[in-house]
Structure 1
Amino acid sequence: MSYEDNDTDEINKNSGDGPGSQLMGINTLIGNDVYNQIEEDLGDIKEIMLDMESGKIVYAVLSYGGILGIGEKLFAVPWGALTLDTTNKRFILNVEKDQLENAPGFDKDNWPDVADPAWKNEV
């Protein structure tokens, strides 16, 4: 799914002046596909986490594997690690698929303790 598919109100419509929108709604980005540079499908954006004090996006939750949410593995991906591919209308993450398969991640019932400084260093 791409951000254009989610943009039913056309608030992110490209003006033609550049490669894509500079301002996008969060709901438009949730569900977007994530690939790496060698065209491996890494999953999709399940959630976007906002720092309420600074107003900045801290990380995106990448959903990898599973079927209909069962058996999926979740990863906190720093927002700066994702690049918007406006040509293919998806995100690019510089990580190989086997790295995700072997990484710990978390599941939907056991989200990480983001207040834990050790967790912040892992992200």
Structure 2
Amino acid sequence: MASKAPVPEHPMISARRVEGSAVFNQAGEQIGRIEDIMIEKLTGQIASATLCYGGPFEAAGGRFPIPWNCLSYDLIHHGYVVDEARVRASPHVDLDLFGGDLPWRDADHHWAAPPYWYGAGPPPEPHR
């Protein structure tokens, strides 16, 4: 008999609960936490998360923009999983220097991740 994949008890989560969530490497070791998420205003899609990395880069700012589609949720640990080697290879961001979305677009390029809007169609017109 085939086993079913685990299903979350609650499939939706508040942004307040995502912020502060643990982030693990693929071995299940906690490497940091989600500090912030970036939401596209018109579509409401989550574009990226800011990982506050607890490793050796903490002194250098330790914040890394990670495309949302490069994180996966772990039902056992109740946190997110990311490839730590790719985090270590990515440029960290001083969020005090960047106010806009520049680092988030660079993150998509570094991670070779399709943009969050890929396949979503054109964004809706803004309300005026």
Equivalent of 1:122 in 103, 110, 119: 110
Shift of 1:36: 1.2
SS at 1:121 equivalent? helix
1:91 aligns with 2:80: yes
Shift of 1:55: 0.9
Deviates more, 1:81-90 or 1:105-114: 105-114
Distance verdict in 2 for CA 1:44–1:79, change over 3 Å: same
Residue of structure 2 in register with 1:100 after alignment = 87
Which residue identity is paired with 1:106? V
Q: Which protein is bigger by CA-based radius of gyration?
A: 2
Shift of 1:113: 4.4
Structure 1: how far apart are the matches of 2:104 and 2:11? 32
SS at 1:62 equivalent? strand
Residue of structure 1 in register with 2:12 after alignment = 23
Structure 2: how far apart are the matches of 1:53 and 1:59? 15
Shift of 1:57: 0.4
Q: How does 1:13-92 map to 2 (within 5 A)?
A: 18-65=7-54, 71-92=60-81
Query: TM-score normalized by structure 2?
Result: 0.65
SS at 1:76 equivalent? strand
Structure 2: how far apart are the matches of 1:45 and 1:91? 9
When the two chains are superposed, the root-mean-square deviation of aligned CA atoms in Å is 2.9
* Contact 1:20-1:86 at 8 Å conserved across structures: no
Deviates more, 1:83-92 or 1:71-80: 71-80
Q: Could you report, residue by residue, the CA deviation over 1:56-113 in whole angstroms, capped at 9, with x for unpaired residues?
A: 00011101137xx8643111111111111111111111233xx434432112312374
Flag structure 2 segments of 5+ consecutive residues without an equivalent: 1-5, 112-128
The total of aligned residue pairs comes to 103
